[in-house]
């Protein structure tokens, strides 16, 4: 409930603070006194756009603050979704600077207008005269029947199943698109894969082939060089090995004359042995190097194939080609897995659809059970509020599965017992819609916890007994909900738990709006003036007292 509204520097309000009752709050005042200004200020904390022209004093900022007592379950989801701190009371504040900049806060935490609007929708239901958009929405009409049916758990279970159903349908659609896209490429991918499989490349093969090709292409040059080295080392007129052996012997002969000679002679002996081994290995290598023209031709053919594949796939080595081959195999295998997954999904979707249809049938049955009682109760209330010839009828048609079931629900209306029912949005007048909304909300309020209900002159166009009955409905509605009603009807004002009077007052050279909570005697006087004019008669005062005491 909204237990306090604070307004500073807004329109012709300099400073105003109103503490509201938890039940029926009635606001009255002469036309132009500022009742609409109160609603304008309230709309700012409900997320409406700000207009800097509303500042009373252009040099100071405007501040509107609403303080709410809330039930945790009412707003917990919002606070968790937006990672805001949850407290026992919620304070919504809106500030408009003199430069026109607007800021919004929830419990002193800055928020955007979207968040403010979302939260305010959980806290306040503002219904202004001729504001019938909510009643005209098919979603609202369906929610009314669901509230009366009291099957929220079944609806929530169905909604969870439907979300899973929709998710699987989307997944199937995505897989179908993938398959369609893959089908366009599969033939080409298969051709590329067959080409690579036919080549049957082994790991590191291209690099090995290139090395062997280099060897065979230069075999004669290699063999000539190796022959020359072998000859010079061991077969020349003065072979290098023989010369080294002689030099080592000469050095050894000096060992007795210098202490460092034996070590040098030993090192030279080691060099001789190492050079012998090198000569032997060169000879073996020379024996193995043979020019093979046929093998070279085979290598060239194999490398030509490999190089074509490298160029086609724009890669540099065997490993990259093998990676492409593995990727192509995976894609083609994925096509088979894709078909299997699609078949599984189609089966699960069919099963889930059957389950949803069964759950939707139960929801439909519960809704149908409420249609006749709802029509009877609303029609009785319409007669009570001065519309004895008006009738409402619920049209319920079954359609495809939706997040809320299979039912399309529309309220039809006949204002004159003509049996010519039409959609509410087309056939009901503004005044009729206002009273119809009151009747519907009073019924729904008995089934669900509604937020603070604010009615702005919903009783326009009625008087007498009809106005009294509207007051009775309002009073009943306020037993379990906070209701704020702006009215010109004394019959309704007499039902108030708290009666606020809005008035203008000249202060200096400026007119300012004020609001005050009336005492019992002040209420009687105010209602008497509403009945009989500025100077009420004794009869009007007695009538007003009777209205207050009822």
* Domain range 1-130+452-518, CATH class: alpha beta
pLDDT band at 189 (very low <50, low <70, confident <90, very high): confident
Residue 360 is predicted with a pLDDT of 94
Give the pLDDT mean for 350-370.
Answer: 94
Q: How far is CA 270 from CA 246, 248, 274, 320, 371, in A?
A: 14, 10, 6, 47, 113
Stronger pLDDT, 407 or 194, i.e. the higher one:
407
Using the predicted structure, report yes or no on whether residue 252 has a pLDDT greater than 90: no
Using the predicted structure, report yes or no on whether residue 268 has a pLDDT greater than 70: yes
Query: What is the pTM for the complete model shown?
Result: 0.63
Residue 404 is predicted with a pLDDT of 92
Neighbours of 80 (CB within 10 A): 10
Closest CA to 450 of 498, 409, 482, 491: 482
pLDDT tens for 223-234 read: 778 888 888 887
Point out the least confidently predicted range of 42-51, 189-198, 333-342: 333-342
pLDDT tens for 296-351 read: 788 788 888 888 888 888 888 888 888 888 888 777 766 667 778 888 889 999 99
544 phi and psi, to 5 degrees? -65, -40
Closest CA to 177 of 189, 169, 188: 169
Using the predicted structure, report yes or no on whether residue 132 has a pLDDT greater than 60: no
The whole-angstrom separation of Cα 500 and Cα 24 is 11
The answer to whether the CB of 415 falls within 8 A of the CB of 389 is yes
Give the pLDDT mean for 269-291.
Answer: 82
Give the pLDDT mean for 275-290.
Answer: 80
Using the predicted structure, report yes or no on whether residue 246 has a pLDDT greater than 70: yes
Residue 184 is predicted with a pLDDT of 67
Q: What percent of the chain has pLDDT over 90?
A: 21
Using the predicted structure, report yes or no on whether residue 525 has a pLDDT greater than 70: yes
Q: Are strands 510-517 and 2-10 parallel, antiparallel or unpaired?
A: unpaired
Give the pLDDT mean for 33-62.
Answer: 83
The whole-angstrom separation of Cα 479 and Cα 453 is 12
pLDDT band at 24 (very low <50, low <70, confident <90, very high): very high
Residue 6 is predicted with a pLDDT of 93
Residue 487 is predicted with a pLDDT of 87
Closest CA to 487 of 526, 534, 436: 526
**Looking at residue 70, what DSSP letter applies?**
-
Neighbours of 469 (CB within 10 A): 20
The answer to whether the CB of 38 falls within 8 A of the CB of 515 is yes
The whole-angstrom separation of Cα 523 and Cα 316 is 95
Give the pLDDT mean for 49-60.
Answer: 81
The whole-angstrom separation of Cα 237 and Cα 439 is 129
Cα 23 versus chain centre, distance: 36
Q: What percent of the chain has pLDDT over 70?
A: 93
Q: Are strands 2-10 and 13-19 parallel, antiparallel or unpaired?
A: antiparallel
Structure tokens given for 398: 């079954």
Those residues with Cβ within 8 angstroms of residue 364's Cβ, 6 or more apart along the chain or in another chain: 396, 398, 405, 406, 407
Q: Where are the domains of the chain?
A: 1-130+452-518, 177-337
Name the 3-class secondary structure at 262.
helix
Residue 512 is predicted with a pLDDT of 84
**Measured between alpha carbons, how far apart are the two ends of the chain, in Å?**
25
Using the predicted structure, report yes or no on whether residue 402 has a pLDDT greater than 90: yes
Q: How far is CA 65 from CA 107, 108, 447, in A?
A: 10, 11, 30
Give the pLDDT mean for 355-376.
Answer: 94
Residue 80 is predicted with a pLDDT of 87
Those residues with Cβ within 8 angstroms of residue 363's Cβ, 6 or more apart along the chain or in another chain: 151, 154, 155, 158, 405, 406, 407
The whole-angstrom separation of Cα 542 and Cα 524 is 8
Q: Are strands 124-128 and 452-456 parallel, antiparallel or unpaired?
A: parallel
pLDDT tens for 147-175 read: 899 898 999 999 999 999 999 999 989 88
Q: What is the sign, positive or negative, of the torsion defined by CA atoms of 403, 406, 408, 411?
A: negative
Residue 407 is predicted with a pLDDT of 93
Residue 133 is predicted with a pLDDT of 47
H or E stretch at 517: strand 510-517
Residue 135 is predicted with a pLDDT of 64
Task: Tell me what the pLDDT averaged over the chain comes to.
Answer: 84
The whole-angstrom separation of Cα 61 and Cα 199 is 80
Residue 25 is predicted with a pLDDT of 93
Residue 315 is predicted with a pLDDT of 85
pLDDT band at 131 (very low <50, low <70, confident <90, very high): very low
pLDDT tens for 472-523 read: 888 888 888 889 988 888 988 899 999 999 888 887 778 888 889 999 999 9
Using the predicted structure, report yes or no on whether residue 384 has a pLDDT greater than 80: yes
């Amino acid at each position: 409930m909204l237990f306090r509204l604070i307004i500073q520097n807004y329109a012709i309000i300099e400073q105003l603070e109103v503490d509201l009752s938890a039940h029926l709050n009635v606001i009255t005042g002469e036309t132009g006194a500022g009742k609409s200004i109160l609603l304008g200020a309230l709309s700012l904390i409900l997320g409406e756009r700000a207009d800097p022209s509303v500042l009373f004093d252009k040099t100071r900022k405007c501040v509107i603050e609403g303080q709410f007592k809330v039930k945790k379950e009412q707003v917990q989801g919002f606070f968790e979704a937006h990672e805001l701190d949850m407290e026992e009371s919620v304070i919504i504040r809106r500030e408009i600077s003199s430069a026109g900049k607007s800021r919004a806060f929830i419990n002193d935490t800055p928020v955007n207008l979207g968040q403010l609007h979302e939260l305010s929708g959980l806290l306040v239901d503002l219904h202004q005269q001729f504001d019938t958009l909510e009643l005209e929405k098919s979603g609202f009409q369906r929610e009314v029947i669901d509230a009366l049916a009291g099957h929220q758990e079944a609806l929530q279970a169905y909604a969870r199943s439907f979300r899973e159903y929709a998710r699987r349908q989307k997944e199937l659609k995505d897989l179908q698109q993938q398959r369609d896209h893959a089908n366009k490429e599969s033939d080409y991918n298969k051709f590329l894969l067959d080409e690579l499989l036919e080549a049957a490349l082994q790991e590191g093969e291209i690099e090995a082939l290139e090395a062997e090709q280099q060897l065979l292409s230069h075999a004669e040059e290699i063999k000539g060089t190796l022959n020359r080295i072998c000859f010079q080392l061991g077969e020349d007129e003065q072979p290098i090995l023989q010369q080294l052996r002689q030099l080592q012997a000469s050095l050894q002969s000096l060992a007795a004359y210098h202490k460092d000679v034996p070590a040098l002679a030993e090192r030279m002996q080691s060099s001789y042995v190492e050079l012998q081994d090198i000569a032997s290995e060169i000879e073996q290598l020379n024996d193995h190097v043979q020019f093979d023209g046929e093998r070279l031709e085979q290598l060239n053919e194999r490398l030509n194939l490999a190089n074509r594949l490298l160029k086609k796939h724009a890669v540099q080595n065997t490993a990259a080609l093998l990676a492409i081959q593995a990727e192509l195999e995976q894609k083609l295998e994925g096509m088979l897995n894709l078909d299997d997954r699609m078949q599984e999904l189609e089966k699960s979707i069919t099963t889930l659809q059957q389950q949803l249809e069964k759950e939707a049938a139960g929801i439909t049955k519960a809704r149908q059970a409420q249609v006749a009682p709802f029509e009877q109760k609303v029609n009785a209330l319409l007669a009570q509020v001065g519309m004895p010839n008006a009738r409402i009828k619920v049209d319920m048609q079954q359609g495809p599965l939706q997040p809320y079931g299979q039912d399309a629900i529309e309220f039809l209306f006949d204002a004159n017992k003509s049996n010519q029912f039409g959609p509410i949005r087309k056939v009901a007048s503004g005044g009729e819609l206002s009273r119809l909304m009151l009747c519907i909300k009073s019924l729904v309020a008995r089934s669900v916890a509604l937020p603070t209900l604010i009615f702005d002159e919903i009783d326009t166009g009625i008087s007498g007994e009809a106005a009294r009955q509207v007051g009775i409905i309002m009073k009943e509605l306020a037993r379990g909900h906070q209701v704020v009603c702006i009215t010109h009807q004394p019959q309704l004002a007499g039902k108030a738990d708290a009666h606020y009077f809005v008035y203008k007052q000249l202060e200096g050279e400026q007119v300012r709006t004020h609001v005050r909570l009336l005492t019992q005697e002040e209420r009687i006087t105010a209602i008497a003036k509403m009945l009989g004019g500025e100077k009420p008669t004794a009869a009007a005062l007695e009538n007003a007292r009777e209205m207050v005491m009822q």
